């Protein structure tokens, strides 16, 4: 279990993080994350920006879906 602090107004509140489950395959992982919020498992305040410079170009199309509140703050 991990803990991190969430600033609520003028006081800090502790939020307990759950350990992410192990998945048997990609379909099981996809089904899980469709129903759960990553903020229950990841402390995004500690996230760091990375540059993936060794990626190969591809013509394969991918689709990303975001919940409205995830990117509109």
User: Tokens 């089904």, residue?
Assistant: 31
**Predicted pLDDT of residue 1:** 42
Dig out the tokens for 8 from the structure. Answer: 């609520």
**Predicted pLDDT of residue 24:** 95
Which residue range forms the structural domain that includes residue 34?
A: 2-72
Point out the residues of the chain with pLDDT beneath 50. 1-4
Number of domains in the chain: 1
Report the predicted TM-score, pTM, of the whole model to 2 decimal places: 0.48
């Amino acid at each position: 279990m991990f803990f991190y602090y969430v600033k609520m107004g003028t006081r800090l509140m502790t939020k307990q993080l759950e350990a992410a489950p192990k998945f048997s395959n990609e379909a099981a992982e996809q089904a899980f994350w469709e129903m759960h919020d990553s903020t229950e498992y990841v402390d995004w305040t500690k996230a760091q920006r990375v540059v993936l410079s060794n990626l190969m170009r591809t013509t394969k199309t991918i689709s990303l879906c975001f919940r409205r509140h995830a990117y509109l703050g």
